[in-house]
Amino acid sequence: MTRKSSDLRAVAGSPQTLTTIVGVSSLVIVLSVLLTSRISLSRNPPQTNEAYGGVESSGFGSVPQSPITMELSISKPPALGEQVTLTIALTSTEQAFDTEVQVNLPEGLELLSGSLFWTTDLQPNQTQEFILPIKAVKNGDWIVIASAKHTVSTDPIFWFGDIRRLYLQVADQYGRLGAPTPSQEEYLIKVTPLPR
């Protein structure tokens, strides 16, 4: 059934109320378009190596390309007791001051020096590398998670960044890279990789 404008006024109550409803609806549509074209509205980090972004509330939207990209590599998969290096390379297409970088190491890997959390200023189209010496101290299937997050606004919360994972198998005589095992999937559920 099609309503006439007079029917709409009757439903809305008064011409002023109708104007307010139309104005608010237009504002919601404009904000929706702006938000979905700029950021993701998902609270949860992705389960693959993808860029991500977010705001305080969720409900719609898709994940666009983040200005920040990260590469996480290891000099070689370590055998038990072996020392190796993790390398994190960060690049941003935009200036990103105070970008928070965090590495989550499982119990089977130990940091030999340095820190697992730091901040850095990223300049457009320049790559920064960070090297962390680590040691395999326990056999098992392990996952290394590294994340970078730049907060644009705190009210409302708006941020972008990237997250990467390495899946490792450590044994007495060898180390291997591979796909996630059930124990690594369980670790993913327990660990929140995003910086504070």
Burial class (CB in 10 A: 0-12, 13-18, 19+), 89: middle
The answer to whether position 56 is within a domain reads yes
Q: Are residues 32 and 47 in the same domain?
A: no
Query: What does the pLDDT average to over 102-116?
Result: 97
Q: Which residues contact 96 (CB under 8 A, 6 or more apart)?
A: 67, 68, 121, 122, 150
Query: What does the pLDDT average to over 35-47?
Result: 32
The answer to whether position 73 is within a domain reads yes
Q: Are residues 12 and 106 in the same domain?
A: no
The answer to whether position 196 is within a domain reads no
The answer to whether position 195 is within a domain reads no
Taking Cα atoms as reference points, which of 56, 39, 89, 44 lies closest to residue 194? 44
The predicted pLDDT at position 86 comes to 97
Q: Are residues 101 and 157 in the same domain?
A: yes
> Looking at the 3D structure of the chain, how many domains does it have?
2
The answer to whether position 59 is within a domain reads yes
Q: Are residues 32 and 77 in the same domain?
A: no
Q: Are residues 47 and 120 in the same domain?
A: yes
Per the prediction, the chain carries an average pLDDT of 73
Per-residue pLDDT tens over the stretch 112-146 = 999 999 999 999 999 999 999 999 999 999 999 99
**100 DSSP β-pair partners:** 119, 149
The answer to whether position 127 is within a domain reads yes
| Domain of 163, in residue numbers | 39-190
- Tell me the CATH number at 161: 2.60.40.10
The answer to whether position 47 is within a domain reads yes
Give 53's pLDDT tier (boundaries 50, 70, 90).
Answer: very low
Distance (Å, whole) CA 105 – CA 20: 53
Q: Are residues 32 and 106 in the same domain?
A: no
Q: Are residues 93 and 151 in the same domain?
A: yes
Q: Are residues 77 and 166 in the same domain?
A: yes
Q: How many residues does the chain have?
A: 196
